[in-house]
Amino acid sequence: MNRRIALQLWHEQHAAPPAPMSAEEMRQRGWDWVDVVFVTGDAYVDHPSFAMAVLHRVLEAAGFRVAMLSQPDWHSAEPWRQFGKPRLFFAVSAGNMDSMINHYTANKKVRNDDAYSPGGRIGLRPDRATLVYCQRAREAFPGVPIIAGGVEASLRRLAHYDYWSDTVRRSILLDSKADLVVFGMGEAPIVEIARRLAAGQTVRDLRDLRSVAYALGAKETADFLRRWQDAADSPSKPVLLPSYEQVKADRYAFAEATRLIHLHTNPHNASPLVQLYDQQAVVCNPPSLPLSQDEMDRIYDLPYTRRPHPSYQEPIPAYEMIKDSITIMRGCFGGCTFCSITAHQGRIIQSRSQESILREVRKLAADPDFKGIVSDVGGPTANMYQMRCTRPEVEAKCRRLSCVHPTICRLLGTDHGPLIELLRRARSEPGIRRILVSSGIRMDLAQLSPEYVQELASHHVGGRLKVAPEHTDPTVLSLMKKPNIDNFDTFADMFRRATKKAGKPKQFLVPYFIASHPGSDLNAMIDLALYLKRNGYRPDQVQDFIPAPFDVATCMYYTGLDPMTKKPVEVAKNLRDRKLQRALMQFFKPANWFEVREALLKAGRADLIGDGCDCLIPSRPPREAIEARRRRANQALDADHYHAVPQPEEPRPGVNRGYRPGRKSTRRRDRRVARKNERK
């Protein structure tokens, strides 16, 4: 089977038109049908930083017609019918984020904006968008294959803990009724799926593809279990995970399932994973092989307009932030337990060639709206470009979850030379005034190259450089798979010297820290607060730990166990405890005085209340703290603290509102309601 992408390499100087977003645009193309309808919870932006744009362009380059159904009104199936019946399949994605993380904060409050929607408006996608979109697609055209993908589907493909309902939920395959879930980066699988369906194969024939998960019926599951038992110790034998019923009832079983899942993420040695759900089974094939440099170039050289669809009248915040950025690589070998990037993009770094990146720089420079400043040249991490294991035969066998923790692997190639050369060439291109690096820097890697740090400080920092030490407590950092805080101190000194040498002493670091991560208690947060005070850091933004599906840290949060060792882990689950940890990180804000005082007294650290040099708060509350408490009390009386996402207006009477709306029970209920109203 061909596991590689073979796309035409575009050489046009000008972008191709975006995908049609309406039936009228489809007719203007001269089309009376489409091959694929792509359903997404995000506004449609034809930029290579947005998944829907990349997948549309690779399908288009392979010769397929794609229509874009962006943020449809999900209260009826009519929007799904506007392009007619797709010849091949519906491709469904909640968007660039899990829809629940998109909607709710770590404290389960509704967010005030949505960066991926026009005008930042909320309410343009439903909760658990993948489920709703798949149901509407099935209702619109029964029998058309439904392929779910994106971050939400990828990270929920097996039984997972759902923070918002505080339950272990089934695989999204079973709840959405999708035919397949494509997990991870989807370019190779989606092109192969389209080609094979176009050749007359069925969805069942696609079960041999990498990065595909599918559900078995009861009879198929029984047959599979018989074959599995007969396979003995075959190297290709699938790994049977603890069942859904087991992981829901037993936290040790959940931790063991998490351990097995993450040990099988290397595409070179991963086995198929199977999880039972009563009489059904969900099968996850091994991940896709990493893309070659040539394949990466072909994807990013496609003719993107780099703009939102022209139908939008309002700015899209996420686009405004990345419109002048350039992706140079994907993947991350950091393996941070609270981050989904490694699980979604893979641990193996996949980089573009310098020539491909420079072509994009020139295209950007030729744009009349471009102001001369490239806002970012990076990826998930700014300084992993072209870094790979130096021993491919070892890489193919390795099951290590992080190449840099607890120490940097001696086989990891950490040469910053190619990145330094790329940055120098990019900033010398005509029309480029400045190249900034806004992606986070991996500090332990950067310290290995003083030349790279000097290059950054001299040319590529726009006043602030983002870094992520995350915490100060050794236990918490070990659970995160992050280096000791001394590593940050060393890098901070190194960067300070480099900025002084560059004649830019006003440049500074912006460190990111996390509150309420598993392992972190009040004493750990107090130590972090003292560290911040002693070093003069006052973080404006505080990141609260959100237990995202699939992450190792989420398993710790739910089970209270480290899944790799099964050792107990301290967890702050109560919303009040989480609020106290957050307040400690911003102890310097007068409005947080009461919370910080409560936390200090609760931890037995009253010595930190007063006027001493190490004291976090004064002995008496400032006026701002009293006013803030009074304001919060009044707000609690005026409105409900937890409120629902605003919904679009109700559909017209007679419009189908739910999945299988014509079932007999619905008609009987409608008649009963009508008779009751008549009696009234």
* pLDDT value, residue 343: 86
pTM assigned to the model: 0.89
Element holding 444 (H helix, E strand): helix 443-446
- Residue 182: give its domain's CATH number: 3.40.50.280
Domain boundary among 161, 183, 211: 211
Q: What is the mean pLDDT of each run of 10 residues along the chain (680 residues)?
A: 39 73 95 97 96 96 97 97 97 96 93 96 96 97 97 97 96 97 95 97 96 96 88 80 97 98 95 95 96 96 95 96 96 94 92 97 93 94 95 94 95 97 96 94 96 96 91 97 96 96 92 95 96 91 91 97 96 92 94 94 95 92 87 66 46 41 53 60
CA atoms of 180 and 178, how far apart (whole Å): 6
Q: pLDDT value at position 330?
A: 95
* Other CB atoms within 10 A of residue 108 CB: 15
Assess if residue 573 is contained within a domain.
yes
CB 342 within 8 A of CB 397: no
* Distance, CA of 596 to chain centre: 32
Cα gap 424→435, rounded to integer Å? 9
In a domain, 593, yes or no: no
Q: Is residue 620, in this structure, part of any structural domain at all?
A: no
Rounded to whole angstroms, how far apart are CA atoms 353 and 356?
A: 5
Under 8 Å between Cβ of 445 and 383: yes
User: In this structure, are residues 72 and 132 in contact, taking their beta carbons and an 8 Å threshold?
Assistant: no
Tell me, what CATH number does 393's domain have? 3.80.30.20
CA distances from 603 to 11, 394, 542, 577 (A): 64, 47, 21, 12
Asked if 596 contacts 530 with a C-beta cutoff of 8 angstroms, the reply is no
Are 88 and 181 found together in one domain? yes
Domain-embedded: residue 280: yes
Q: Does one domain contain both 448 and 360?
A: yes
In a domain, 312, yes or no: no
Quote the CA–CA distance of 62 and 132 in Å, as a whole number. Answer: 29
607 in a domain, yes or no? no
- Closest by CA to 479, choosing from 550, 569, 545, 572, is 569
**205 shares a domain with 131:** yes
Q: Note the pLDDT of residue 231.
A: 74
Partner residues linked to 40 by β-bridges: 70, 93
Q: What is the dihedral of CA 420, 422, 424, 428, to 10 degrees?
A: -170
Helix (H, G, I), strand (E, B) or coil at 478: helix
Site of tokens 């190449």: 403
- Confidence at residue 661, expressed as pLDDT on a 0 to 100 scale: 44
| Same domain assignment for residues 565 and 463 | yes
Residue 530 lies in a domain: yes
Last residue of a domain, one of 537, 568, 586: 586
The partner residues of 67 in beta bridges, in order of sequence, read: 37
Whether 33 and 174 share a structural domain? yes
pLDDT of residue 524: 97
Torsion angle, alpha carbons of 378, 379, 383, 386, to 10: -100
Domain identity same for 145 and 86 = yes
Same domain, 162 and 276: no
Q: What is the pLDDT of residue 680?
A: 52
Cα(510)–Cα(25) distance, rounded to whole angstroms? 45
- The range of the structural domain enclosing residue 378 comes to 324-586
Q: What is the 3-state secondary structure (H, E, C) of 251-292?
A: HHHHHHHHHHHHHCCCCCCCCCEEEEECCEEEEECCCCCCCC
Strands 212-216 and 180-182: antiparallel
237, 186: one domain? no
The token duo for 295 is 């394949």
User: Same domain, yes or no, for 65 and 163?
Assistant: yes
Strands 89-93 and 36-40: parallel
Task: Please report how many Cα atoms fall inside a 13 Å half-sphere around the Cα of residue 512, on the Cβ side.
Answer: 14
Tally of domains within the chain = 3
**Three-state SS at 530:** helix
- Calculate the dihedral angle through the C-alpha atoms of 529, 530, 533, 537, rounding to the nearest 10 degrees: -50
If asked whether residues 183 and 72 sit together in one domain, one would say yes
Q: Is residue 644 part of a domain?
A: no
Q: Does residue 406 have a cis peptide bond before it, meaning omega lies within 30 degrees of 0?
A: yes
Residues 25 and 167 in one domain: yes
Q: Which of 333, 306, 329 is nearest to 439 (CA)?
A: 329
| Alpha helices by DSSP H, 199-243 | 218-230
- Of 127, 78, 77, whose CA–CA distance to 647 is shortest? 127
CA angle 466, 470, 472 (to 5 degrees): 125
Tell me the C-alpha distance between 188 and 295, whole Å.
Answer: 10
Contact indicator for 439, 380 with CB cutoff of 8 Å: yes
Kindly state whether residues 555 and 416 are assigned to the same domain. Answer: yes
User: Residue 599: which of 489, 490, 515, 488 has the closest Cα?
Assistant: 515
Token pair in block for residue 17: 């038109």
Domain boundary among 546, 564, 586: 586
**Residue that has been written with the tokens 């079932």 in this structure:** 663
Amino acid at 474: P
